[in-house]
DNA sequence: CCAGGCCGTATCGGGCTGCGATACGGAACA
DNA sequence: TGTTCCGTATCGCAGCCCGATACGGCCTGG
């Protein structure tokens, strides 16, 4: 009986470390403080395994246990995001470009980063006269399929790639307006591809309209999106696009990395 | 020869997971993109070990490798910080309290969290008429021993505890004004303890003056600090304290958690 | 042009370390 | 007071990680 299971360990990844990161992620997603046994249920891991993983994360400083033996994240978790932001080349240039865009349009500006089936907020500038939110949204996850930023980024992929992203997404009807059919979403992406920007109204958040343009890397692949959002009551869709498309597309272009020449010429 | 080394594995922590988190931390701190061999040097780990750890972090989504085989953080790193912020009870109440304080004083407001020998920025509200920084400082680490926030938090500990924190800190002379002697720092902490707030001028950053008050948990232990900073040229030290001490102390008090009764009475 | 060094990648057998079962004490609840 | 669930600690086995090694590609310099 030595031939029982195909080992198929293709990856170099370390099992116990993977499980430890999984535990961290589950705790991170659970808004409420989590008990040890609860994590065992959520992850499908053994109780002993969770115990060891949690002890590792506590000793590394990412978790602490409260007085009632629950587990919660520590401020150290903030550092990782900060270090990402300051070490990222895109963020460096985004500073000036977004400030200028903010002066031009006077509305709330967002920059979010492409991560496949979802995107992550990375920067936010409040609109003129708008209350500043101390609780910034940096790090918040939004789906790709139903947001202006997501549509704009998808428009820089081929149809095949778009469909592959949609396959890995759960197409949830977030509002009555949300498109949940891959074919219809692909149509919207094609429109965005032709226009150079994407406008989405009321699909991700009810009564909100948003416009976005994609930032691309040196291969033309999407890495981020610049977007402006406002209330649907304040703008007609066409007027909204007329007003914001040009500055946003221009800013996204300035943020994009120049394409590398396709030939292999040397200097 | 079976009695060679005392195993002394006191902790439950998993070795390989600890090393994987160490690799992530080293990459996170290195502002520049890091090569695999470089990490091996920085961590003191075997090349193979780093290879496996990095592969684990890549497959978990926290790292990606660039075209030139360097390693860098991914946007996923932002999510951890976001989840910390929105799941933290202190942040929830800080929203309103800091907004009110901002209206009262009109200056830049910060909230940072206690983490022993250092503190972590968690919230920032820009001052009136001040340029908003798109690159927020949330997640940035500052030392405890030479900052107003740090001194205010230390003032809520006993002298012994203060000295223990200072022992684990590297007391670096950041400016010509920085106090680097534990005895002198302890004196400053005692002053802060008597006043209920801490004023530090030019010790962490040259030509900057800052004032802070500590936020405490239900046991009276420091968990955070509210601080306001400005340029040393604009304020005299006494005038600065006169002007900001009361509103900051008041805001920190509203943020603090009520003390639990010391007896064990049941309802 | 080639030799040398450095780096990233893949493989492999041995031994140690993580795995999971088990047990115990305390808290919450009925 | 009995029951149940949870957090914690322990232990022997074997599966998995460890670290050495080898290979190929890329620069650098002679």
Cα of first residue to Cα of last residue in chain B, in angstroms, is: 61
- The pLDDT of residue A33: 80
Where a domain ends, among B74, B107, B142? B74
Tokens 């993109």 locate to: B33
Quick one: average pLDDT of A33-54?
Answer: 91
Q: Do A77 and B94 touch (CB under 8 A)?
A: no
Joined tokens for residue B227: 């601080």
Check whether residue A244 and residue A176 sit in a common domain: yes
Looking at residues A185-201, what average pLDDT do you find?
Answer: 97
The alpha helices in A123-236, defined as continuous H runs, are 148-154, 159-167, 182-195
Percent of chain A with pLDDT over 70: 91
- For A259, other C-beta atoms within 10 Å of its C-beta total 11
Whether A56 maps to a domain, the answer reads yes
State the average pLDDT over residues B178-186: 97
| pLDDT on residue A11 | 75
Residue B27 belongs to domain with CATH number? 1.10.10.10
Is the CB of residue B69 less than 8 Å from the CB of residue B51? Answer: no
Smallest Cα–Cα separation from B60: which of A55, A165, A121, A80? A80
Quickly state the pLDDT bin for B33 (edges 50, 70, 90): confident
**Based on the domain organization, do B145 and B100 belong to the same domain?**
yes
Which residues on neighbouring strands pair with residue B229, listed in sequence order?
B210
- B262 lies in a domain? no
Residues A39 and A166 in one domain: no
Q: Is B124 on the interface with A (CB under 8 A)?
A: yes
Q: Estimate to the nearest angstrom the gap between the alpha carbon of A155 and the chain centroid.
A: 16
**What pLDDT digit, counting tens, does each position of B86-124 carry?**
999 899 899 899 999 999 998 899 999 999 999 999 999
Domain extent at residue A189: 81-255
Rounded Cα–Cα distance for residues B21 and B39 (Å) = 12
- Over residues A3-13, the pLDDT tens digits come to 333 444 467 88
Taking phi over 0 as left and psi of -120 to 50 as alpha, with beta for the rest, A55 belongs to alpha
Same domain membership, residue A204 and residue A98: yes
Q: Assess if residue A95 is contained within a domain.
A: yes
The reply to whether A63 and A118 lie within a common domain is no
- Taken in order A219, A224, A227, A232, is the CA torsion positive or negative? positive
- Per the domain annotation, does A2 fall within a domain? no
* Same structural domain, A47 and A102: no
Residues A32, A122, single domain; the answer is no
Summary mean pLDDT of chain B? 90
3-class SS of residue A205 = coil
Number of residues written out for chain B: 267
As a whole number of angstroms, the distance between CA A45 and CA A252 comes to 44
3-class SS of residue B114 = strand
Greater pLDDT, A7 or A122: A122
What pLDDT score was predicted for residue A128? 76
| pLDDT tens digits for range B15-30 | 999 999 999 999 999 8
Q: Is the CB of B7 under 7 A from strand C?
A: yes
Are both B189 and B119 inside the same structural domain? yes
Q: Per-residue pLDDT for A155 more than 70?
A: yes
Q: Tell me: pLDDT of B263 over 60.
A: no
The CA–C1' separation of B83 and C12, in angstroms, is: 42
Q: Let me know if residue A10 belongs to a domain.
A: no
B84 and B98 housed in the same domain: yes
> Do B133 and B55 lie in a common domain?
no
DSSP annotation of A260 reads P
Asked, for residue B146, whether it belongs to a domain, the answer is yes
Q: Is residue A53 part of a domain?
A: yes
- Identify the domain boundary among B74, B103, B118: B74
Q: What percent of chain A has pLDDT over 90?
A: 76
Q: Is the CB of B51 under 7 A from strand C?
A: yes
Same domain? B146 vs B67: no
Which one of B80, B136, B255 would you mutate to disrupt binding with A, by most A Cβ within 10 Å of its Cβ?
A: B80
Write the pLDDT tens digit of every residue in A63-109. Answer: 999 888 899 999 999 999 999 999 998 998 998 999 999 999 988 99
Among A residues 41-60, those touching chain B with beta carbons less than 8 Å apart = 51-53, 55-57, 59-60
- What's the total number of domains in chain A? 2
In a domain, B243, yes or no: yes
The CATH number linked to B186 is 3.30.450.40
Do B161 and B65 share a structural domain?
A: no
């Amino acid at each position: 009986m030595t031939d029982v299971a195909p080992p198929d360990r293709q990856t170099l990844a370390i099992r116990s470390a993977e499980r430890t990161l999984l535990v961290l992620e589950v705790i991170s997603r659970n808004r409420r403080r989590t008990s040890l046994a609860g994590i065992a249920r959520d992850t499908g891991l053994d109780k002993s395994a969770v115990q060891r993983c949690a002890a590792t994360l506590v000793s590394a400083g990412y978790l602490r246990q409260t007085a009632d033996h629950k587990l919660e994240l520590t401020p150290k978790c903030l550092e990782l995001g900060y270090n990402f932001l300051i070490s990222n080349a895109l963020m460096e240039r985004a500073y000036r470009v977004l400030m200028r865009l903010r002066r031009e349009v006077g509305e709330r500006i967002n920059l979010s980063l492409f991560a496949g089936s979802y995107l992550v907020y990375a920067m936010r500038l409040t609109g003129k006269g708008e209350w500043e939110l101390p609780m910034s949204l940096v790090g918040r996850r939004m789906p790709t399929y139903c947001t202006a930023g997501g549509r704009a980024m998808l428009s820089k992929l081929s149809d095949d790639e778009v469909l592959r992203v949609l396959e890995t997404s759960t197409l949830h009807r977030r509002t009555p307006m949300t498109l949940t059919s891959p074919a219809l979403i692909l149509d919207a992406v094609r429109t965005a591809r032709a226009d150079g920007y994407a406008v989405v109204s009321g699909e991700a958040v009810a009564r909100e309209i948003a416009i976005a343009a994609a930032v691309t890397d040196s291969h033309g692949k999407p890495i981020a999106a610049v977007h402006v959002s406002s209330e649907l009551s304040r703008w007609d869709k066409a007027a909204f696009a007329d007003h914001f498309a040009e500055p946003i597309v221009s800013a996204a272009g300035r943020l994009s990395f120049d394409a590398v020449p396709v030939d292999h010429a040397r200097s």
